[in-house]
Amino acid sequence: MDVIDTKDSEIVQPNDSGELPEPVDDSFQKIQDTEEEIWEVPEDRFCRKITEDETITADILQYYVDPKIARNIDVRNLKPARTNFFGMSKEENPFRELRFDVPYTSRLVDDHLGYEVLFVIEHKSNPTDFFFLQVYPYMDLSNLDKWKRAKRPTSRKKFRPYIALAVLIYCGIDKPDDVQYYQDMFPDLPDELREFVPQSKIIRANLNNHPYHKLPGCPETRAVVETIKRIHDGTAIEHFGDIIANFKEITWDDRIIEIIHSICFYTVSREPITPEQIQETIQKTIPGKESKHMAGTMVKTLYDEIFEKGVLSGTAKGIVKGRAEGSAEGRAELILKQLEKRFGNVPVSIQKQIREKHDPIVLDSLAVQLLDCQTIEEFIDLL
C-alpha cells in the first residue's frame, strides 16, 4: 500500500470541515509488485488475499467480532487505508513487522462527528500479548501521517485522528474473561502509574466460536473461515469437499475463482493433498463444464506456484523431490508422477522421452494436455 510520505511538499490541506481529500490509492498494485518478496509464509499469503476482499472482511467485522463494533461502525463501507509499508523494499523499510492484512478505514454509523475509523486486521496462528507491539506502531504512524497531511493542525475542530482499532483473527479456546488489554503486558505496573499508560483492547475474531454448520456470512466468507478452521484442526483433507460446496449456489466470476484458487493453494501448501486431488474434489462436488475447466486450469497454476514459491511442504509424498523451483527436470518428474498415479507403471522408454525434454514450455503444455487424456496411449501420442 501507500508508503508514509513525510515530505512537506506532499502535505495536503483539509477542507473547511477539517476533512482530508481522498488520496490516490495505488495500494493493491504496490502489494502486487512486492508480493513475491513479502508473502513467503502460506498463512500470510492466504490471509492477505482474503482480507483484500472487502466483502469477506466486512462479514468478519459484522459476524465474527463483538457485535458492538457493527452497531457503531459502518463496516459495510470499507476503504483500503492510505498508509502501509508494502511499497518499501527490504532495504528501505525499517519496520519489517508493520505489514498487515489490508488495513481499512470506515465511518461511525452516527457520522455527524466526522470520525474516521482505522481497522488494523491481522491473523495469528498463535496469538500472544505481544501482538500489541506489532499493531501499536502502525496505528501511531498512521495517525502521524494523517496529521502531517493535514499540515499539523492544533485545533480539535479542524482535525480528528483515526479511531484506531486492532482486529485479531485466530482459532483458539477462549475463557469467558479471556480478553487482551495493552496494560496486561505490565502485570506489575504500580497503580499510581496505571493512569499514565495507554490502554486499548484487541478486537478478537475467534473463528472457533462458530461451529461449522452455523458459519455466518456470504458463501465465500463461510468457505474461507471453514478453510482456516479445518487447517487449524487438521480436517482440511477429509472435508475439502465441504469447503468447496459453499460455492455451489453462486456464480463463479473472476473474484470467486480467485478466492477458490487462494483456498486451494493454501490447502496444498499446508496439507498432504495434491493438485490432482483438488481437481477431482472440485469436479465431484460441483459437476459441470465450468468447474471442470476451472479445476483443470487451476492444477497447472498450482504446480507453477509450488515451483515458483518453493512451497513444497504440504504436497503428497513423492509428488515433488527436492526443490525443483520451476526447472525442466522438476516439471518432467511431476508429469511422470501424474502418469503413474493415473495409469500405473510408466514404460521406461516413455520415462526417458519425458526426461529428455528440457523446455519448460513444452513440459507445461504436456502437463495441461495430460489432464484430458483418458489413457496413457493418448498421452504417448502427444510426445
Spans in the chain with pLDDT lower than 70 = 1-40, 82-101, 174-179, 289, 303-328
Q: Are 137 and 99 in contact (CB under 8 A)?
A: no
Q: What is the pLDDT of residue 174?
A: 60
pLDDT tens for 245-300 read: 999 988 888 899 899 989 988 888 888 877 778 888 888 898 876 777 777 777 77
For 77, 195, 227, 266, 300, the CA distances from 261, given in Å and listed in that order, are 26, 49, 12, 9, 11
Burial class (CB in 10 A: 0-12, 13-18, 19+), 303: buried
Residue located via cell numbers 487482551? 180
∠ CA 47-208-186, nearest 5°, is 80
CB-based contact 269:288 (threshold 8 Å)? no
What residue spans define the domains of the chain? 8-207, 219-315
* pLDDT the model gives residue 328: 67
Q: Which has the closest alpha carbon to 227: 32, 55, 54, 45? A: 45
Q: Under a CB-based contact definition with an 8 Å cutoff, are residues 281 and 295 in contact? A: no
